[in-house]
Amino acid sequence: MSIPVVTVGPGQEDIVSGLERLRGPVTVVRRCSELAELLAACQSGLAAAAVVAEGSGELTGTLVERMQAAGVSIVALTDDPLEASRLRSIGVVPAPPAIDARSLASSITDAVDSVQDRFSVQTVLHAGFSDAVSRAPVRAAATASVTTAAASGAGRILAVWGPAGSPGRTLLAVNIAAELAATGKSVVLVDADTYGASVSVLLGLLDESAGLAQACRMADQGVLDDAALDRASLEVFTKSGSFRVLTGTTRADRWIELRASALSKVLERAREKADTVVVDTGFCLEADEELSFDSMAPRRNAATLRSLEVADEVIAVGAADAIGMPRLVRGLAELAQAVPDAAPRVVLNKVRRSSVGRSPRKQLGEAWQRFGPTGDIEAFLPADSEACDAALLSGSVLLECAPDSALRLAIARLVCADFQQNRTSAGRSTRAMRLLTR
Ligand SMILES: Nc1ncnc2c1ncn2[C@@H]1O[C@H](COP(=O)(O)OP(=O)(O)OP(=O)(O)O)[C@@H](O)[C@H]1O
Ligand SMILES: [Mg+2]
């Protein structure tokens, strides 16, 4: 069967007539005047392949993913080797502009033949609730991402999630990053909360540049290499180690810059670089298509959902009180639906007698047995306003401003299996000294 092809670009006429003369493997079903028209044609199910004859520079990862979601493979003509490699990195097959019709037809055929595999792998790796494309492969998504990480020997992604009500996601994520860095691990901390990014505030970084948005933009353009990731991130030094931070979009209206496909690439790139990528996520797990009729519209919750889908490990944190616990229970049920393989480690934060009564651990444990999902609460993090306020005020982490606090020790034990308390003195009475480098 002849492959239906759509084309775009001023140079398409020669290409079209060349392909038509072959009378066989491919049929040009529409000539488009611009990329937007090409995208619409692809999404209407008209074509199995698209040829971008000129202007390949306008192709981004997001566009390509949309076309691939419609089952379309893309061939773009360029004679620039750098552009060819950029195109490859976003899933486009490059070909030289001087290519003869027969070779172009066979490139198109190869691209279409491989799209089945490529799309299924990409769907598995990058699709899930966060995508308009498909909900089905969520289970495979987590499995595949773990397998990929294991196979490449790359680092792990640890997502910190929790329901609405400020249970302490950011505090936990930031301090987990600091604790891991203090053990000598290389760590990248990513602020992917599209509702209330606050990692930079907690760390006292006067940063308005939204490093994660920058990194996503570069990933979308297919130019996110190690050096670019370094440029987009800040290095935060403490006396006990250092870690890199991709700051979030502190202006609420910038959530649109954190597209799922680009974020996946950023997280994958970060995990190639670091032992652990810690992601501070938003609270909301609603699939945005339930909120919007435009199935291709950007999705505010995609960053959280995508982070949870690709994470090797999820920590779910809830506030240990009469409001926080039921929210956590409901939130975990939503999480199980949205990301079935997440297998979260449950942590209760802000544990205090005044809100629970005497023996809070016992009381909370019993309440969990009765109302919570199966599985135990893995850690009880005490309420410690003094330590948290001191950290916030000085823009530092607990291992520096409250190294011996029960809260800091509980967080360290949660993520550092062989944590010993006597290591804590390393940071005692030191204030965070940080050098910010781009
Ligand atoms: N164990 C704790 N004891 C006392 N205060 C805490 C504790 N954990 C967090 N807090 C405080 O609770 C507030 C919210 O914490 P944090 O910003 O980490 O929550 P969040 O879940 O990220 O909230 P948001 O919805 O804003 O993203 C902060 O003021 C923080 O200092
Ligand atoms: Mg937060």
Give pLDDT tens digits for 262-298: 999 999 999 999 999 999 999 999 876 555 555 556 7
Query: Ligand 1, from 176, 388, 389: best to mutate by most atoms within 8 Å of Cβ?
Result: 388
Q: Which ligand is nearest to the CA of 320?
A: 1
Round the average pLDDT of the chain to a whole number and report it.
85
Q: Which ligand is nearest to the CA of 195?
A: 1
In the reported structure, the alpha carbon of residue 308 is separated from the centroid of ligand 1 by a whole-number distance in angstroms of 20
With cut-offs at 50, 70 and 90, classify the pLDDT of residue 115: low
In the reported structure, the alpha carbon of residue 195 is separated from the centroid of ligand 1 by a whole-number distance in angstroms of 15
Integer Cα distance of 353 and 378 in angstroms: 19
Integer Cα distance of 291 and 139 in angstroms: 23
pLDDT at 12 over 70: yes
Pick from 61, 113, 125, 114: which is nearest to 91 by CA?
Answer: 61
pLDDT score recorded for residue 23:
84
Give the distance from CA 205 to its chain's centroid. 22
Q: Please report the atom of ligand 1 found closest to the CA of residue 193.
A: 27
Integer Cα distance of 309 and 128 in angstroms: 7
In the reported structure, the alpha carbon of residue 404 is separated from the centroid of ligand 2 by a whole-number distance in angstroms of 24
Reported as a single tens digit per residue, the pLDDT across 153-199 is: 489 999 999 999 999 999 999 999 999 999 999 999 999 999 999 99
| DSSP H/E element including 149 | helix 138-152
- List, in order of start, the domains of the chain with CATH numbers: 3-126 (3.40.50.2300), 138-427 (3.40.50.300)
pLDDT score recorded for residue 287:
79
Which residues lie closer than 8 Å to 36 by C-beta, 6 or more apart? none
Q: 128 with 342: CB under 8 angstroms? A: no
Query: Ligand 1, from 160, 171, 195: best to mutate by most atoms within 8 Å of Cβ?
Result: 171
pLDDT score recorded for residue 163:
97
In the reported structure, the alpha carbon of residue 187 is separated from the centroid of ligand 1 by a whole-number distance in angstroms of 22
Q: Please report the atom of ligand 1 found closest to the CA of residue 389.
A: 31
pLDDT score recorded for residue 381:
97
Instruction: Indicate the pairing of strand 234-238 with strand 241-246.
Output: antiparallel
Which protein residue has the closest C-alpha to ligand 1 atom 8?
168
Higher pLDDT, 250 or 355: 355
Tally the residues of the chain: 438
Burial profile 134-171: b = 16 or more Cβ within 10 angstroms, e = fewer: eeebbebbbebbbebbeeeebbbbbbbbbbeebbbbbb
Q: Which residues line ligand 1 (CB under 6 A)?
A: 162, 166-171, 193, 196, 198, 283, 349-350, 381, 383-385, 388, 392, 407
With cut-offs at 50, 70 and 90, classify the pLDDT of residue 151: very low
